[in-house]
Structure 1
Amino acid sequence: MSTSRELLIAFFDCLGDLDNSIDRCVDLFAEDGVFEFPYFSVLGMPTRFQGKTELRQVLGIINAHFSAFTLSEIEVHEVKEGDALFVRYHSDGFIDRSERVYAQDYVSQLIAVDGKIKVLREYLNVINTARMLFPNGLADVPAAAG
């Protein structure tokens, strides 16, 4: 049975080679596991992906823009009760396999149940995301989302 720390390490390993690791990454999650991006709603994007099909879908969307991420400045903080942790880290990835670098700082919560990821919740700078990923940057953020 994997611990939250072991699951985090395995998930980060998958991020280092998304072209070849989506299935392995999805397998880290429970059948009803959730991958959340709570602030994506301000960008007019979905915030919650639950179950293997949706997890594979969102990881495929991420992989369409990035083949891999390099992670650094990793700080892991385990909670006292339950199998969960918070992690702060920095990532860099080449956007659309170009020379443009997407740099992002994250704070994530990982909750494990029965050796699988039950919830992975990622908090990030959505302004940075819009600037780097949307064709017209912040101009593409829906008015209702602002």
Structure 2
Amino acid sequence: MKTAKDVLLEFLDAFPIPAKAAALFAEDGTLEIPYLESVNIQPRAEGPREIEKFLATLIAMVPGWKFSNIKILMEDKNQVFAEYEVHAVATHTNRKYDQLFFGRLVTDEHDKIKLLREAQNLLNTARALLKNSIDDIPRE
């Protein structure tokens, strides 16, 4: 039996391969990044197929995506809270994507991800990923 920390580390390592990372989610598992909605990006994906599509889109934009500086801040058997970083370049904008994530991962009884909820600095996201940088952030 894996701990939630084991599953998180496996997910972060598998992230550059969307099918492998998405396979770690339960059929009803959810990836939520709530604040993405403020930069016009869908903030929630549910189920391995939808999560795989979402991750594939991110990897297409930032192919050098690799998590580093992983710090486990809290853990128990079925949940973990951690922070982790990404330092890469968004190929479609040719801008640096330097990001600190905070994530809470909850596993189910089959060691699958039930929920991964992350937060990040959306200004860094907008600067790197949006065509017109922060000018593309909706004003309302």
The two structures have a TM-score, normalised by structure 1, of: 0.86
1:133 alignment partner AA: L
Q: Percent same amino acid at aligned positions?
A: 30
What's the CA shift for 1:97? 7.4
Match of 1:72 in 2: 68
Of the three residues 116, 122, 130, the one matched with 1:134 is 130
In the alignment, structure 1 residue 42 sits paired with structure 2 residue 33 = no
Cα RMSD (Å) of the superposition?
1.8
What's the CA shift for 1:77? 2.5
Match of 1:106 in 2: 101
Match of 1:123 in 2: 119
Tell me if structure 2 keeps the 8 A contact 1:32–1:50: yes
What's the CA shift for 1:99? 5.9
Return the alpha-carbon distance in structure 2 between the equivalents of residues 78 and 105 of structure 1: 17
Match of 1:62 in 2: 58
Hey, which bits of structure 1, 4+ residues long, moved more than 2 A? 68-73, 77-80, 97-101
Return the alpha-carbon distance in structure 1 between the equivalents of residues 93 and 126 of structure 2: 17
The structure whose residues are more often helix, as a share, is 1
The number of residue pairs the alignment matches comes to 139
Cα-to-partner distance string for 1:78-107 (whole Å, 9 max, x where unaligned): 345x51010012211221278642110111
Return the alpha-carbon distance in structure 1 between the equivalents of residues 64 and 117 of structure 2: 19
The two structures have a TM-score, normalised by structure 2, of: 0.89
